Every structure is written in C-alpha cells, then in structure tokens.
Amino acid sequence: MQADEMEVPINDINDSNRQKSLPKVKELFKNQRKDSEGSMESPTLEFEYGDTDSLMAELSELYSYTEEPEFGLNRECFEEDFRSQGRPGAKWGSRGTDLTCPLCPCSNNQACSSAVRKPAISLADSTELRVLLSIMYLMVEMIRVETEDDRPEWRTARETFKTDLGSPLYNGEPFALMLFTMVNKFCSMNAPHFPMKKVLLLLWKTILLTLGGFEELQQMKVGGRECLGLPPLPEDSIKVVRSMRAASPPASAMELIEQQQQQKRGRRSRRTAYVDSLEGDSPFPRKQPLMKQDSLDTYNERDPFKNDDARDEEDDADDVDSGIEGEVDPLDRDVIIQPPPPLPPLRPPTERLAFPKGLPWAPKVREKDIEHFLETSRNKFIGFTLGNDTETLVGLPRPIHESVKTLKQHKYISLSEVQIKREDSLQQCPMTLGEEDVEETPTEILYLGMLPNLSQYVIALLKLLLAAAPTSKAKTDSINILADVLPEEMPITILQSMKLGIDVNRHKEIIVKAISALLLLLLKHFKLNHIYQFEYVSQHLVFANCIPLILKFFNQNIMSYISAKNSICVLDYPHYVVHEMPELTAESLEAGDSNQFCWRNLFSCINLLRILNKLTKWKHSRTMMLVVFKSAPILKRALKVKQAMMQLYVLKLLKIQTKYLGRQWRKSNMKTMSAIYQKVRHRLNDDWAYGNDIDARPWDFQAEECALRESIEKFNSRRYDKNQNGDFAPVDNCLQSVLGQRVDLPEDFHFNYEMWLEREVFSQPIQWEELLQAQ
C-alpha cells in the first residue's frame, strides 16, 4: 500500500492525536506490506533437495506449451521414418537407436543474419535448432539417470558417452563450451533466434553428467583429502542438512502489534495496582521495584544505541518482526514484577522442539585463527610475537595452554589452504620444484576452454538471469528470452491468453532454475579442482553485480514465488503425447496443480542463496556489499519459507554481516541470533555476535580484492601461459651452434640482402680495441 492511500484514515484522526498516531499507522501499514503472506503460519515444506527434480518433471520442462502442435507432427514423422528403416510390423521399442547430431546449425551465419534483421522473433525461427537440441537433451537426460537394475553393458556405454561429452572432440573443445558460445552469441544480439531455454537446460545437464552432481562432489572431496593425507571430514554435510528441521517463520505484523498491545496493557494494569497499594495502609511499601521500572523506562527513552544504525532507518519497522519469532524487549522482560498471564501460542507447542539437543555441526578452527589467538596472547602477556609459530607456548599462562589445545583439537585444514600453499611454493621456487603435473580432468579441460572468454560467459548468464527474474521490469534494450515461447500468431481468446501467460511465467522459472544450478555446479567443481579457478569465476560474478542481482531477486513476495502454480499438468510432456487431450477451461488453468509448492522455484531460491554464500564467505569486502545493499530485511523475509535448507543458508548470510549491523539490530532480533547459534556451524573464536573484529576495517577491503586478483593472475599465467617460462629457458652459449641454427627469414629480405649488409655491417665502424679491452 502506498503512502497516498493512507491519507483517508489519517485525516479522520483528531488534530490533538494526529502527530502521536501517525508513526504508528505508518508502521502498521509498512509491516502489513512487508508481511503480505498473511497471519497464518506456513506449513513445513516437504522438499528434498537434490541434483534435479524427477525424470518426468525434467523432461516436461524441456518443452513449452506453445510447442504442443508440433508433437503430433513429430510423432508422425518418427513413425514414418521408423517404418521406412525397419521391418514391416516391427515395434519401435524393439530396435536400438543410432542418433548422430549433424556438424550443428548454431554456426549457420545465414540464419543468424536473417534473424537479426527480423523485427520480431517467434517460435518458427528456431524449428530445426529446437529439434536437434531436444534430441540431444533427451539423450543426455536418459543416459544420466542411473537405476539399480542397469545392465553392465549399459553402465559401460554411459561412461563412454560421459567421457566423449567431456572431451575436447568438437573443434578441439568440449561440447559444453559450444553451448557457452551459443549463450554468448545470443546475449550479444548476434543470434536472437536461439532457443535459449533449451540451450541452458542442455548446458546444465551436460555439466551435471560430465563433471558430476553433489553426491559425486562429496566423494571427490573425501578422496582428495585422503590423497593429501588430511583428516577425514567431521561430518557429511548432505546428511546433516537433510536431517535438519525447519524453524517457525517470523510472526506476522498484526500478531506482533496485538502482542505488544497486550504487554503494554498488562504493564499499565500492574503499575496502577501497585500505585494503589502505595496509597493504602501498608506500612512497608515496596518502592524499590517501582524506582527500577522508572529508571529502565527512562533508559529505554534515552538509549544512545537506539539509532546507531541510521543507515537502516527506513527499515526500522521491519525490525519489529524480531527474526524467527516475535521478540519481547529483553529490558522490559527482565523487570516485570509479576509474570503476565500466558498469551495464546502462535503455533503448536510441539514444534518448539525443532532442534536436537546437540548442535548439528562440529566446530571448525582455521590455522589463521590459532595464529591470531596466539599473537594476541603473546602481545598481552609477553610483549612480543613469534610470527606464525603455533607450537611455542613459553611464558603464557595455563588457561592459554588449554585454549590452544582446544583450538587444535578442532583445527580444520581445507583443500583450498593446501592448494594455496602449493601455489605459493611454485611461485617462489619455479626452478627447484619444476613444472606442475596437472591432471586432465573434465573440470580442468572445461576451465582451460572457458578461460579466454570467461568474463563474457559470466556476463551472458547474469543477463539472462536478470531478464528472467520476476522482479525485473521490461526494457527496450534488454534481451528477448521469449523467442522460443511466443507463437507466430498471438492469442485472440481469453483462454489462449491465460495459457500463454502461464507458459511465459513457466518459461522464465525454468531459465532461472537452469542458470542457478549451472552457476552453483561450476563454482563447486572449480573450487574442488583448484581454489584460484573458483576465485577467478567468483570475481567475475562479483564485478558483474551478481550480489545485488540475487538480492533483487529475493526482494519480492518469496512465499508467492515458491507457491506459484505456473503449470498445466495435462499439457506436460510426455503426458500430452500418450493421453487424450481434455477440454481446457479458464477454471482448470487457474487451479493449476495440487502441489504445496513449486519444486523448481524452491530449488532455484536455495541455489541462489548458496551462490551468494560462496561469493561472500571469508570476504569482508563482499560482506560489506550485503550491508550496503540492506540485505538483512530482505533475507529475514526469506525465513518465512519453512524449509530447513533454505533457512540454513539465509541464516549463514545473516551471521556473516551481524557484526556490521549494530547493537540495535542485534537487540531487536534475538530470536534470529538464537537460530543462527542453533543451526549454523561455529568457529570457536569467531565473535560474530559482536562488533569488535579487527578484520572489519573498511579501509582494507579494496586491498583485499586487489591482492586476490594479483594471486589469480599469477596462477593463470604460470599454469596456462605457454610463453611465461621464456626467462627461465636454457641459453645456448656456443657460437658455432648459434650461427649454425636455421633462421626463417621473410621473402623480401633476400631481395634487400646486399642493401642490408651495406647499411648494417660495412658502413658501421667496429672499434676492435675497445672490444678487446672490454673482454
């Protein structure tokens, strides 16, 4: 509701009370707008996170509802071709398939130039390309899915197909790189007819098959630690997250206002009764509690920390929702003389036991944390430091010894730390350590192919994500992602318009799903392969404004987005092909499906939160971006989604910026702070709940990014620049050997050889005496 709409009820207030009531009314309407999900508590979403949705759901999302007229034609063409190549009367299911994709029309310059000149692109401009992409997608998806009853020869064929798909077979580059090139050409307006949804889905599934999903990533991580002799992981993160239970979402604005009014009425009635008792006959009135109450009220009115967070002044009303539950001010709570009558619970009391008795995660400590702790202790007790020495404890008191022992018991050495130390050694001693033996993994092959144009690929993906986001507004200069969903003839009836509207929204949701899953897979695989590959992609994402883009995505009614029903089940593939088509009505289109939530939208939200976590983890400059863009109210609204995994990654993002949000925010969101403590992993000496971290100095942020960029450039130059070892190549000092080498000279040199001798040799006097003296 806008401010203009508030004028009518505000004008009805008496002049004497108008100034006093106006802030309350504004706060009421603002909270009602922010909490548009309603006062009813959302149920727990039975959502199981994984690499993909069910096979049928993934197949149905390949086709838009606008393509349904082509299904019958495709089936007739297939059956006719099958009869022409098979035995009469033979069933198509009894024969094998030999599908070969022809040298691809994505490089058809004539089609690209023709599409560029067209004023409007429709489904008909990409017919051939959509067929080829659909065939390839169906092959990849059907081969990717494994079952327990797979025969050995089928497993062998799957591994062969997987190897071929990830190898540089297409023009010396892997198949995924060709798809990245298609994405880049589409976003640069050189090929506006490309069916981008199918390209993105095929690209995502190709990466998923060739590099591996989340289960394979966990296995590779465990294997990598074993090879380096590192201790095993303290727990399986996938199992821990799946065993978590969701916390109750924040209370609505109306419930919080009613709760506060009841508390104020209770305090007012208790004060009146207490004053009446002082006027009675009691010879020993208890004046001390009344004095304490008055002093605390005065403190609350004059609290200097009330407005310490001026930058978030416009979101003060949003802080009323107090995190995951309604929160009573701890100062008011501690001074109540008599307990108030119990309030009706906002949710069933059984759901208060949402967390196990023990914390779900084992605490971790970095080597840097131990060094910092010892440096501080030595400065305090001894007066000098010993650098990175974490073994010498001479001169330190006994409690420090016990603290160091506890920290070392929980010390965790990541693969990234080992890779960074190895890279530093290779940079410092290139001659001693020699060349690095790099394993040609599918991830390494893909990174090497993406390296020259990595920034263009990242920008193209973010452009598509921005165009498909529900919070984005249409602009004339934005890319058209609806080229493969708009029909040649626009709808003329209300039913056709409703169907197309659902199809367009579904189309955008699928694009967001594919891009979010693709970016997350790339970040995780590059981080496991080498930390500087991950950092290189991360920096390009940050420089391309990925952080504000994701925050903009979540700045919406997230409950409405997750519960959206942009699907028509009877039109989904393959249901539409093998069943009779029922008659569609406006009521059936509005009803949608009966699912509690939309799997792909919740999957996309979790992926985007995980990407945001990966970009900001241990990066203070990027954490400050979250603070500057006022992400705390946006993320708190996302806690309304009652799903454990999504809440976990929201709480992680809130934890890393808590120290920058000020005391007032922490005091007003104690339930959120408690949820962070219960659900997020602890770092033993990380004072995230306070604001005294020495690493929080803003003047170091730019230097941090510059130092990281320098390390990345050194890594890429050493590992992938073939000419970078020229300074260290052996030199031939033998005169006869050097003169005997054959030198390829240009053709025009032979014609001007005599002129060159005259100018460069004969006409130049040689001072032989000076030459001999120099020797």
> In 429-565, which ranges are continuous DSSP H helix?
430-433, 442-450, 454-468, 494-529, 531-543, 546-554, 558-562
**Would you say the C-alpha torsion 62, 67, 68, 73 has a positive or negative sign?**
negative
Is the pLDDT assigned to residue 127 strictly greater than 80?
Answer: yes
Buried b (16+ CB within 10 A) or exposed e, 239-258: eebeebebbbbbbbbebbbe
For the chain, what is the largest distance between any 2 Cα atoms, rounded to a whole number of angstroms? 130
Give phi and psi for 170, each to the nearest 5. -95, 105
Is the pLDDT assigned to residue 368 strictly greater than 60?
Answer: yes
Taking a C-beta distance cutoff of 8 angstroms, is the pair 271, 64 a contact?
no
Query: Alpha-carbon distance 353 to 255, whole Å?
Result: 22
The pLDDT mean for the chain works out to 78
Query: Alpha-carbon distance 549 to 469, whole Å?
Result: 9
Instruction: Report the half-sphere exposure of 202 (CA within 13 A, side-chain side).
Output: 27
Taking a C-beta distance cutoff of 8 angstroms, is the pair 539, 708 a contact?
yes
Residues 6+ apart with CB under 8 A from 544: 455, 458, 459, 462
Please give the angle made by the CA atoms of 485, 486 and 491, to the nearest 5 degrees. Answer: 130
Query: Alpha-carbon distance 566 to 589, whole Å?
Result: 9
Q: What pLDDT does 121 receive?
A: 80
> Which H, E and C letters describe 260-275, residue by residue?
HHHHHHHHHHHHHHHH
The stretch 510-522 carries a mean pLDDT of: 98
pLDDT band at 606 (very low <50, low <70, confident <90, very high): very high
Give phi and psi for 745, each to the nearest 5. -110, 150
Higher per-residue pLDDT: 556 or 250: 556
pTM of the model: 0.77
Q: What pLDDT does 75 receive?
A: 74
The stretch 465-487 carries a mean pLDDT of: 83
Residue 373 in tokens: 């702790």
Higher per-residue pLDDT: 3 or 426: 426
pLDDT band at 574 (very low <50, low <70, confident <90, very high): confident
pLDDT band at 86 (very low <50, low <70, confident <90, very high): low
Query: Alpha-carbon distance 608 to 599, whole Å?
Result: 14
Query: Alpha-carbon distance 594 to 601, whole Å?
Result: 15
Instruction: Determine which of 240-244, 646-650, 739-743, 745-749 has the lowest per-residue pLDDT on average.
Output: 745-749
Q: Is 734 helix (H, G, I), strand (E, B) or coil?
A: coil
What are the CA-CA distances from residue 10 to residues 3, 17, 94 (Å)? Answer: 11, 10, 76
Taking a C-beta distance cutoff of 8 angstroms, is the pair 42, 484 a contact?
no
Could you report the per-residue pLDDT of 660-686, keeping only the tens digit for each? 888 889 999 999 999 999 999 998 888
What are the CA-CA distances from residue 687 to residues 379, 434, 627, 677, 695 (Å)? Answer: 20, 42, 18, 12, 11
